[in-house]
Amino acid sequence: MTQSLSNLYTAVPLGLSLLAVLLLLLSFWLAWPWTANAFRQAGIRRTLTRLESKGADILQNLILPDRKGGSVLIDYLIITGKGITAVQLMAFSGRIFGSAHDATWVQEQGHSRYRFPNPLRQCDKAVDIIQHILGKCEVQKALVYSGCKLNESMPKHVLRANDMEAFLLQGKGEKLSGSRRSWAINTLKQLAIQDDELMDEHEQTAIERQGERSHLSMAKRLMLASCALMALAIALVAFHMITN
């Protein structure tokens, strides 16, 4: 009887530990798309850091009021010696199809297809607002995708993340002098809206585009379950050691 209990105290913690490891591996697998996107975002931030080292001014998460009582969020407004560019980042999985004139674009994931509003319309709105604020200066747009494949016939302002730096450095917007450049930056900063709720909504939308919200939530639960099982296994081993 004593030997059977001893074997049980050995087998149960071992089984719990193995189950915990399996759950942890499964959680890593489910969270991988989100993790991979985080790495891609880090790559984009490194690109922006290089641009800053070359003299670019970058305004991040800029929320500007429109002329209808609403607002528009610009991921990055980049001002270089080559001009002004409003950059919108799009984190998607799968393959993206669309044209400048389509009302909706298509995201293809495996055998499933999802439609979403043409994001260039949002870019055009951002450009229009900036031009209105700065006095009709020329501003170019860039829609930068990461984590997906783009159809070969995408509009010229639609870029892969790896192409962003070259596009910005070639620049075709208005070239601002030093004093006008400082004035433009200060004016935009003064008009910027601080809206945490809008920022949260923007981040949630980005996760939904990846199609990984439920997977990420499940991965977190599995990680917690794995930790709980491991803790239980350690507690059983400790109890066995104390009682013997």
Average pLDDT over residues 26-39: 61
Nearest C-alpha neighbor of 32 from the set 196, 170, 218 = 218
Confidence of residue 156 (pLDDT cuts 50, 70, 90): confident
Q: How far is CA 127 from CA 22, 64, 171, in A?
A: 49, 11, 15
Of the candidate CATH numbers 3.30.70, 3.40.1350, 3.90.79, 1.10.287, the domain formed by 54-211 belongs to 3.40.1350
Q: Is the pLDDT of residue 162 over 70?
A: yes
Backbone φ, ψ for residue 150 (5° rounding): -105, 140
What average pLDDT is seen over the chain?
76
Nearest C-alpha neighbor of 72 from the set 160, 181, 201 = 201
Q: How far is CA 79 from CA 1, 42, 204, 211, 220, in A?
A: 78, 21, 27, 32, 39
pLDDT of residue 130: 92
pLDDT in tens, 108-123: 877 888 888 898 998 9
